[in-house]
């Protein structure tokens, strides 16, 4: 059963067993496979999801992205990361 959760930076997100991230060569995109649905990720969502591993907190994920995309202010990246993960959490495809 899925419990509704509101993500904060301290959370350590992961995918449930039935949702799987992989790179699809045919589409040249990162995708998440889930029961009867496919999430096609854009470039940034793909970057974020590759860092979701059940070990790193959202805050750590943000820091990695800040380093990677030099020049982007941390608060903007933080906002983007949370805004990207929350809809997946709402549907039970991001759990803690």
Partner 1 sequence: MTKIKVEKQRTEQKISFHNVKEKLQIPYAVLCELTHRCPLSCPYCSNPVELEMKSREIDTETWKKALSEAVKIGILQAHFSGGEPTSRKDLEELVQHASSIGLYTNLITSGVLINEERLKKLYDAGLDHVQVSFQDTDPENSNRIAGYKGHEKKLHTAKLIRKVGLPLTVNAVMHRQNLHNLKSMIDMAVELDAERLEVAQVQYYGWALKNQTAFLPTREQLDTATEIVEEARIRLKGVLAIDYVVPDYYARKPKSCMGGWGRQFLNISPAGKVLPCHAAESLDFLNFDNIKDNSLSWIWEHSESFNRFRGTSWMPEPCQSCDRKEIDWGGCRCQAFALTGDQNATDPTCELSPYRHVLDEPLANVGKEDIPDFIYRKIKVQRNIN
Q: Which residues bind partner 1 (CB under 8 A)?
A: 1-4, 16-18, 20, 22, 24-27, 31-45, 48, 79-80, 83-84, 87-88, 90, 92
- Residues contacting 91, CB < 8 A, separation 6+: 2
Q: Which is nearer to partner 1, 44 or 66 (CB)?
A: 44
CA angle 75, 76, 78 (to 5 degrees): 65
- For residues 50 and 30, is the Cβ–Cβ distance under 8 A? yes
């Amino acid at each position: 059963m899925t419990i509704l959760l509101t993500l904060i930076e301290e959370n350590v997100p992961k995918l449930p067993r039935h949702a799987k991230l992989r790179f699809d060569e045919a589409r040249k995109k990162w995708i998440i496979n889930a029961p009867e649905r496919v999430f096609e990720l854009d470039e940034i969502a793909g970057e974020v999801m590759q860092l979701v591993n059940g070990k790193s907190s959202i805050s750590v994920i943000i820091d990695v992205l800040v380093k990677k995309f030099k020049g982007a202010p941390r608060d903007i990246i933080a906002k983007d990361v949370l805004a990207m993960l929350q809809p997946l959490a709402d549907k039970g495809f991001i759990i803690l």
